[in-house]
Amino acid sequence: MSGRRLRGLYFVTPEAASGRTELVAAALRGGARLVQYRDKSGPGEHRLREARALRALCREAGALFLVNDDIELTAAVSADGVHLGEDDAGIAEVRARLGPECVIGASCYNDLARARPAIAAGADYVAFGSVHPSPTKPHARRAGLDLLRRAHRELDVPICAIGGITPDNAAPVIAAGADMIAVIQGISEAPDPEAAAHKLQSLFAEA
């Protein structure tokens, strides 16, 4: 997967299912370049229907659609990729299952040493965070701007930053080297999600 498309605002859906499709549509109108479907608890049929609907929205907008953790759902809806955490399937296994065109992202938390084997195994991008205190994961490991700067210097795949990122604090994160900023509540809890997404995406043009 070419890293050229792995840049910009990366909207991660909130766990609460209510209004999720509308939030994704607003984020895409605001310019989001990637969307990650994150739902670990919903019924299988509901998740399948919703993922298909969100994939269609992303394709219409020219954005990439990824699924969090679930390899089978990724395959079932022909998603563009999957994002994996430390307790999920191995990258090489996922690559063999989903093929060479699938975008595979790997969470590396606050540990640069995790990124190198992930990249060697075939990860297309690596994610670090929480950059700021996160209301979604208040006890998440913290990864500061110095880590992002080092990752940008030393790694040869796109870097994604996540955790507590909002329109008001995102600019230094991008300046530190983040190719993507993954945002949940900075959009989902904003008074105007589309406007928040637009402000976040516009920061990449200024970087």
The catalytic site residues sit at: 38, 107, 137
Tokens of 154: 């030393």
- Distance in angstroms (rounded) separating the CA atoms of residues 168 and 121: 35
Give the rounded distance of the alpha carbon of 33 from its chain centre: 10
C-alpha separations of 41 from 44, 146, 160 in Å: 9, 35, 25
Does an H or E element contain 186, and which? helix 185-188
- Distance in angstroms (rounded) separating the CA atoms of residues 36 and 54: 9
Buried b (16+ CB within 10 A) or exposed e, 40-59: eeeeeeebeebbbbbbebbe
Pairing mode of beta strands 180-183, 8-12? parallel
